[in-house]
Amino acid sequence: MNEIKILIVEDDPLIAADIEQCLNNIDFQVSSVVYNTEDAVHQLEKNTPDAVLLDINLGEITDGIDIADLINKKFQLPFLYITSHADRQTIERAKKTQPAGYIIKPFDERDILAGLEIALYNYSQRKNITQPVLSYTQINKHLSRTLSEREFEILQAIYDGKTNQQMAESLFVSVNTVKTHITNIYLKLDVASRTSAIARIRGWI
Amino acid sequence: MNEIKILIVEDDPLIAADIEQCLNNIDFQVSSVVYNTEDAVHQLEKNTPDAVLLDINLGEITDGIDIADLINKKFQLPFLYITSHADRQTIERAKKTQPAGYIIKPFDERDILAGLEIALYNYSQRKNITQPVLSYTQINKHLSRTLSEREFEILQAIYDGKTNQQMAESLFVSVNTVKTHITNIYLKLDVASRTSAIARIRGWI
DNA sequence: ACTATCATCACCCCTAAGTATGATTTTGAA
DNA sequence: TTCAAAATCATACTTAGGGGTGATGATAGT
């Protein structure tokens, strides 16, 4: 059984029930169903869910997008819009809140399943990323003389704090070869040491 | 006119044409339509798009999820799946590639508009997260034996790619002193070189 | 007053890192 | 086929980085 708790914000009781039914079918727990902003805030504070499904039009002055703003400011939870509003203006406003998804009514169980699974997974991954991965193309975008793939491998190893000896072993080449590659990398990056190479590419990744 | 270029990977020519039509209607440029993995890779390399729409089932050994893996490894572009496969197994595999969205067929112009707009916006926002500066307290949170302020200064200089000589000059101390500090930093960080020190703290900032 | 931490410096030794130069082989594009 | 780039390796040299040990004065906490 899934322990993931979802908060539903939807002013139409019929649709709310429908969403709730879907969530039950796909083994998500509904932490609460609320019909307005005030209750939504209350639930977010007292019974913090793992993710939120937001209707945009709530028939009051504040709407789902305002709630999204609040989630970003105070709670930092993943949320998805479920709405029938798919016009440019609404999407334009909605995207600025960086939602994890945008499900357009009439929705389908699978839309919610896929949307939530991806939202939750992405959220959990992003929470513990700080290790930015080097990208070959990303680095080369900044260079007139581009790195070869082998050189890029070496640069990655330097970035990971490896010694020349370790690189030689893991790449099955001699230390001399590693040194040659490094010399060429330094030429292209216009640096003269490992640490300055790392500092140089830091802004690029 | 929108200059955003989208790559479509879809093996069914009818659906591909349909997607292309949708993109045109909502003012996105189609950079290319490809039917298999090989062409997809080629397009990614030669005519890098701003985002990718991926069908999962391509009727070959490799599928859209493999292409997604490749995008993450080498290109780091936002991508959305457009597929009729919405079973748990597929979603489970797909979510691991951290897609920006998952559009289930039969799709609708608005699904694509909302999905792409949000994907592109989120991507652009996440890209310019400013490189966090080293923070003294942040580093020490992770250490049992904390760095002194002087040691932290030295660590910053290492992080910036400075040599011991340069540090000695800018801090008005002897190179020997710098070395002593560095030795102590290494002890506390449990590393044995500048580069591994940088790699170690990378996860903390 | 005693102790711990910090910042400072010195000297020795050793190795990893970096520089210079040159060579061979493979491969892919013109 | 020819040419250029890439990957491989070698040898020799220089230097920066790192390990070990020990010492001194300053400061702050118990």
pLDDT tens readout for residues A92-151? 999 999 999 999 989 999 999 999 999 999 998 876 554 556 778 778 888 888 888 899
Compute the distance between CA of residue B119 and CA of residue B6 in angstroms, rounded to an integer.
12
Average pLDDT, chain B: 89
What are the residues whose beta carbons fall under 8 Å from the beta carbon of B51, sequence distance 6 or more?
B4, B6, B7, B77, B78, B79, B80, B100, B116, B119, B120, B123
pLDDT at B58: 87
Q: What is the mean pLDDT of residues A83-97?
A: 93
Query: B107-163, pLDDT tens digit by residue?
Result: 999 999 999 999 999 998 877 655 556 778 778 878 888 888 899 989 999 999 999
A39 vs chain B: nearest CA distance in angstroms? 27
Evaluate whether A94 touches A56 at the Cβ level (below 8 Å).
Answer: yes
B140 touches strand C (CB under 7 A): no
Mutation target to probe the A interface, by most A beta carbons within 10 A, among B91, B128, B194 is B91
pLDDT at A133: 63
B24 touches strand D (CB under 7 A): no
Low-confidence winner among A62-71, A142-151, B50-59, B77-86 (lowest mean pLDDT): A142-151
Identify the CA nearest to A55 among candidates A94, A24, A4: A94
Compute the distance between CA of residue A58 and CA of residue A80 in angstroms, rounded to an integer.
15
Q: What is the mean pLDDT of residues A185-204?
A: 90
pLDDT at B205 over 70: no
CA A155 to chain centre: 26
What are the residues whose beta carbons fall under 8 Å from the beta carbon of A84, sequence distance 6 or more?
A57, A104, A105
pLDDT at B129: 59
Q: Which residue among B95, B96, B110 sits closest to A86, beta carbon to beta carbon? A: B110
pLDDT at B118: 95
Highest mean pLDDT among A167-171, B70-74, B98-102, B124-128: B98-102
Nearest CA in chain A to B117: A95
Amino acid of residue A45: E
Low-confidence winner among A52-66, B117-131, B179-193 (lowest mean pLDDT): B117-131
A148 touches strand D (CB under 7 A): yes
Q: What is the percent of chain B with per-residue pLDDT over 90, rounded to a whole number?
A: 63
pLDDT at A135: 78
Nearest CA in chain A to B101: A101
pLDDT at B2: 62
pLDDT at B79 over 80: yes
Give the position of tokens 């560095």: B182
How distant is C1' of C1 from CA of B148, in Å?
26
Average pLDDT, chain A: 90
Helices in chain B by DSSP H: which ranges? 13-25, 37-46, 64-70, 88-95, 109-127, 136-141, 149-159, 164-171, 175-189, 194-202
Please, which residues bridge with residue B5 across strands?
B29
pLDDT at A2: 62
pLDDT at B178 over 80: yes
Partners of residue B204 in chain A, C-beta under 8 Å: 130
pLDDT at A160 over 70: yes
The residue among B20 and B74 whose pLDDT is bigger is B20
pLDDT at A130: 46
pLDDT at B35 over 50: yes
- The domains located in chain A, with CATH, are 5-127 (3.40.50.2300), 136-202 (1.10.10.10)
Q: What is the mean pLDDT of residues A7-18?
A: 94
Find out whether the peptide bond into A106 is cis, omega within 30 degrees of 0.
yes
Q: What is the mean pLDDT of residues B158-184?
A: 92
Compute the distance between CA of residue A88 and CA of residue B130 in angstroms, rounded to an integer.
29
pLDDT at B78 over 90: yes
Q: Which residue among B102, B194, B202 sits closest to A131, beta carbon to beta carbon? A: B202
Partners of residue A83 in chain B, C-beta under 8 Å: none
pLDDT at B1 over 80: no
